[in-house]
Structure 1
Amino acid sequence: MRGKQLTTVAALAAGTLAATGLAFAPAAAAVTPQSATINATCNIGGGGEATLTATQDSTAATITLSSTSITTPLPLAQNSVTSTLTLVNASGGTTAFSGKKNPAMAAGSGVSVGPLDGTVASGDSLETYGGSLKMVVFGITISCTANAPQSPGPFVFD
């Protein structure tokens, strides 16, 4: 009987240690900053300030772009804009975030696309300046480019 009690106590202690270990486990990978602002010019829809919001889960990342300055000339249905956001990597090359995700937008309203999906590596430092945003709407490609580096700085992924 004494051996059974000892086994039970040992099992409870192991469970407590395991739970404590989970409480102190490292947090999930995160990108910093989580949002940045750019000033962009587009061949259709004007230009101006846009906000980029980034998330990361391991090597999977997303970026959403929204702007009240860059507008849509026509009403757009939900998930009707095919978008590719290409960012420049500080270590060389580019990383693309793409998808066909957007809310419904009325004519003249600000543009919002994403979350656009991409793959990142730990330590990637990604910047919109030098990259581009391409949106395909009704078969027409709209291109936007940043006029200066994003603020407060590039997205750095864990």
Structure 2
Amino acid sequence: MRRITLGISTALGAAALATGALALAPTASAVDPTTATITADCGSFGSGSATLVATQDGTSATITLSSSAVKAPLDVPAGAVQSTLTLSKNGSGTTTFTGSSNPAIPTGSDVSTGPLTGTVAAGDVLEATSLKLVVFGFITVDCTATSAQSPGPFTF
């Protein structure tokens, strides 16, 4: 009887250890590429290149964007830009990443925003198509991608 109890205790201990290791293991999801560039036209606010950096954690993803296409006309405090990045999704639809987590942007500096958050599924292929920035709640900048993402779309 003692051997059976010892065997059951050892098996339960091994199962608990394995479960704990799985709970602490990092997620296996990843995005490729992690960095891409596009060229964008922002109308009277300018045009130029934009760099997008993507990360993924399960079904949550973030994209941070910085661009020389738009320069800050005055000092913009952190959190003063509401951003909506629209991306084509799997070639047949769209999805948006949103946020208002911009860093402080000094006058004349490149605009930077993010992380913008969105939801993804395994196998999603996303490519930036447009960006809407609303600064101080009333200055709206609409940008449209004029080139494909390089080196290619984000694959989650």
- How far did 1:15 drift? 5.2
Pair 1:133-2:151 in alignment? no
TM-score (norm 1): 0.83
Corresponding letter in the other structure for 2:47: G
> Structure 1: which 5+ runs fail to align?
none
How many corresponding residue pairs? 153
Structure 1 pair 35–97 and aligned structure 2 pair: CA distance change class (3 A): same
- The superposition leaves residues 83-118 of structure 1 with CA deviations (integer Å, 9 ceiling, x where unpaired) of 100011134111001111100111100110010111
The alignment partner of 2:52 has SS state of strand
**Percent of aligned pairs with the same residue?**
56
Cα distance in structure 2, aligned partners of 1:15 and 1:90:
40
| Equivalent position amino acid for 2:110 in 1 | G
Gaps of 5+ in 2: none
Q: What displacement does 1:147 show? A: 1.0
Determine if contact 2:89/2:124 at 8 Å carries over to the other structure: yes
1:1-158 matches, within 5 Å, as 2-3=2-3, 5-14=6-15, 18=18, 22=22, 27-128=27-128, 131-138=129-136, 139-157=138-156
What do the CA deviations read for 1:8-55 (whole angstroms, capped 9, x no partner)? 544555456x279749x7843111111101111112432211110111
CA distance in 2, matches of 1:20, 1:77: 43
Q: Is the 8 A contact 1:68 1:111 kept in 2?
A: yes
User: How far, CA to CA, are the matches of 1:93 and 1:8 in structure 2?
Assistant: 53
List, as ranges, runs of 4+ consecutive aligned residues in structure 1 with deviation greater than 2 Å.
1-16, 19-23, 25-28, 67-70
In structure 2, the CA distance between the partners of 1:15 and 1:58, relative to structure 1 (3 Å rule), is closer
8 Å Cα contact 2:42/2:69 also seen in 1: no
TM-score with structure 2 length normalisation?
0.84
